């Protein structure tokens, strides 16, 4: 998972403590595809309303329109930025590269909760909606190490 902005970075949680808060907030979902990737990408629902501390699962539908297997990585951001400290992802498709076969469709989950401690953060008092936005990109190609040939005669390491 890569973030597009430092303050809008979500947290990663192993699990939810189960503590429930009293505030209810709306979480909106935004899905984008960067140029060069011929995929469609959309959330199953435009938004959910949830109580702080409640674990929620939302799916994003992706479709590879290419006639060949392709891969994508997700970059995300959360707005308003102050909410990133309280947005906890337990599981996310953005944690790994996604590969789809030719014309393949998949449902990709994100499991998250809003930390109930946000209720004590007065910078969150005016926040009633949070937007989780993803953009899919073609993965950067990993540079393969180049094997070096033998050094010319007489130019090897000196011991």
Quick one: pLDDT at residue 8? Answer: 45
For 141, counting Cβ atoms within 10 Å of its Cβ (0-12 exposed, 13-18 middle, 19+ buried), the class is: exposed
Structure token digits, residue 58? 């939302």
In the chain the domains, ranked by start, together with CATH numbers, are 2-137 (2.60.370.10)
- How is residue 148 annotated by DSSP? P
Output the tens digit of pLDDT for each of the chain's 159 residues: 444 444 444 444 444 456 677 999 999 999 999 999 999 999 999 999 999 999 999 999 999 999 999 999 999 999 999 999 999 999 999 989 999 999 999 999 999 999 999 999 999 999 999 999 999 999 987 455 444 445 555 555 444
Close Cβ partners of 27 (under 8 Å, ≥ 6 residues apart): 47, 48, 49, 50, 56, 112, 114, 129, 130, 131, 132
| pLDDT value for 158 | 47
pLDDT of residue 21: 77
- Predicted local confidence at residue 153, as pLDDT: 58
- Cα–Cα distance between 154 and 65 in angstroms, integer? 56
pTM of the model: 0.78
Cα end-to-end span (Å), the chain = 46
Task: Report residue 87 as tokens.
Answer: 């947005």
8 Å CB contact between 93 and 109: yes
| Residue 17 pLDDT | 53
Distance from C-alpha of 16 to C-alpha of 61, rounded to nearest angstrom? 25
């Amino acid at each position: 998972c890569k973030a597009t902005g430092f303050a809008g970075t979500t947290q990663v949680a192993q699990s939810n403590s189960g503590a429930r808060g009293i505030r209810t907030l709306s979480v909106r979902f935004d899905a984008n595809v960067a140029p060069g990737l011929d995929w469609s990408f959309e959330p199953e629902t435009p938004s959910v309303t949830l109580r702080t501390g409640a674990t929620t699962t939302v799916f994003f539908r992706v479709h590879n329109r290419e006639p060949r297997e392709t891969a994508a990585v997700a970059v995300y951001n959360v707005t308003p930025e102050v909410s990133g400290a309280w947005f906890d992802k337990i599981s996310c498709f953005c944690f790994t590269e996604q590969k789809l076969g030719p014309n393949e469709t998949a449902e990709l989950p994100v499991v998250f909760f809003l930390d109930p401690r946000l209720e004590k953060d007065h910078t969150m008092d005016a926040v009633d909606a949070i937007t989780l936005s993803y953009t899919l990109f073609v993965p950067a190609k990993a540079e393969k190490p180049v094997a070096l040939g033998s050094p010319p005669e007489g130019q090897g390491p000196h011991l």
